[in-house]
Amino acid sequence: MPKTDITHKLSKPIVEKVAIIGAGPGGLATAIALRTLGFDVQVYEKAQDFRPAGTGLGLTPNGLNCLDAIAPGIVETLTISGCPVRHILIKSSTGETIREIPSRNIELYGRPLLTVWWWRLQQTLASRLPADIIHLNHRCIGFEQNENTVEINFDNGKTVYADLLIGADGVNSVIRETLFKEGKANFLGSMCWRSVLKYHHELFDSHETVFIKGNKQFMYILNVGEGYTSWISRKLSPDCSLSRNADEVKSRILNELAGWDESFREVVEATPAQEIWEGPICDRPPLSHWSHGRVTLLGDAAHPMAPAIGQGANSTFEDAYELQACLSESSTLEAALTSYEQRRSDRTQIIQKQSALGEMRYYETENSVEQTQQQPKMRPINEFHNWLYSYKPSVIN
């Protein structure tokens, strides 16, 4: 979107009131970050309560570095509740071991691969904020802005005003849609079923993350700590239609896993049907800029990506850190938002592209995985991972 007069007329050198839409990892991390700058930050979330939700996530050194810079000590807290991964086990659908990969993240980048439950991450971040700045049951339905303020509207009839509006409202962001009118996200041709439940998988005794490769489908079983297991099953499918009810979802996924080793099916069988999430995997095309006047985007709202390389939440924490840095270093809001986009746009475009590529690699056949095993050893340090995981925030004074 071309910059208009609104941007150029901004006169306040610094913001006072900030409204964040979305209390996911991005919105909450940003709220913590911006409160340390002395701003009056309010977070608006459509959910009626904070109930257990979301999937198991892998937090990587780049995301953890940023998170720790925003909220010192929080990585220790997450390490206690989550699970630092030492080994990743790759299995065939019938249970044969294909490969065992030791995680070298600590050795190479100083931080582990940490698997956590999205809900636990949300709770941990929320515990760093005063409860009265998080407004549940506030679904944003749109905004209007002028040179002095942003007016933000909610479906409960409320209206609030802020100097800066941050859309951290995920892949189907209302803030992004109001700015860019793109419509629905791109369906990437694969379906996902997932849940988190109290369960101990026998393989966790020696491996915390298990990747099971089937024919054009795969499954992750993650130890996310505190006795919880996250399973995520994905299948290449041109059809993104959803099942009619929870029982149908459960039968469908069990049907997809017919012939798979019992220990992989058992975790699905143990999951209550109404706690299995079913949905399509989607992304959106990269944006070259995503701020307009007093409004900007962050996390999945700005750069939603396929989950293939596990960078959605991690890149969200990078955004939160960089937005804090830009707002603290710049003398005007316009300069801060321009600098934020400049710092984030190229990097997130590369991550989005790699995620889309990685998504397709997932669906190579079992044979091609075996062939990959027989090829000469990969480079000891994958250049892309090195670039990705080495990202470190500078200290803000």
Ligand X SMILES: Cc1cc2nc3c(=O)[nH]c(=O)nc-3n(C[C@H](O)[C@H](O)[C@H](O)COP(=O)(O)OP(=O)(O)OC[C@H]3O[C@@H](n4cnc5c(N)ncnc54)[C@H](O)[C@@H]3O)c2cc1C
Residue 88 near residue 99, CB atoms below 8 Å:
no
Q: Where are the alpha helices (DSSP H) in the chain?
A: 5-8, 25-35, 61-70, 74-81, 105-109, 118-126, 174-180, 246-256, 262-269, 312-329, 333-361, 366-374, 383-389
Residue 197: both structure tokens together: 């439940």
Q: Does 140 bind ligand X (CB under 6 A)?
A: yes
Q: Does 21 bind ligand X (CB under 6 A)?
A: yes
Give the number of residues in contact with ligand X, rule: CB under 6 A.
35
Q: Does 221 bind ligand X (CB under 6 A)?
A: no
Shortest distance in whole angstroms from residue 29 CB to ligand X:
8
**By CB under 6 A, which span of 24-32, 129-137, 342-350, 379-387 interacts with ligand X?**
24-32
Q: Characterize the bridge pairing of strands 17-21 and 164-167.
A: parallel
Shortest distance in whole angstroms from residue 124 CB to ligand X:
14
Q: Does 232 bind ligand X (CB under 6 A)?
A: yes
Q: Does 139 bind ligand X (CB under 6 A)?
A: yes
Q: Does 299 bind ligand X (CB under 6 A)?
A: yes
Please select the residue that binds ligand X; options are 83, 114, 313, 351, rule is CB under 6 A: 313
Which of 130, 176, 128 lies closest to 22, judged by CA? Answer: 176
Residue 205 near residue 186, CB atoms below 8 Å:
no
**By CB under 6 A, which span of 2-10, 74-82, 309-317, 331-339 interacts with ligand X?**
309-317
C-alpha dist (Å) from residue 371 to 362, 368, 375? 14, 5, 6
Cα angle 38-42-44, degrees, rounded to a multiple of 5: 160
Please select the residue that binds ligand X; options are 45, 68, 256, 341, rule is CB under 6 A: 45
Residue 302 near residue 21, CB atoms below 8 Å:
no
Please select the residue that binds ligand X; options are 194, 235, 250, 292, rule is CB under 6 A: 194
Q: Does 57 bind ligand X (CB under 6 A)?
A: yes
**Which residues sit at the interface with ligand X, rule CB under 6 A?**
21-27, 44-47, 55, 57-58, 118, 138-140, 168-170, 174, 192, 194, 232, 299-301, 307, 310-314, 316
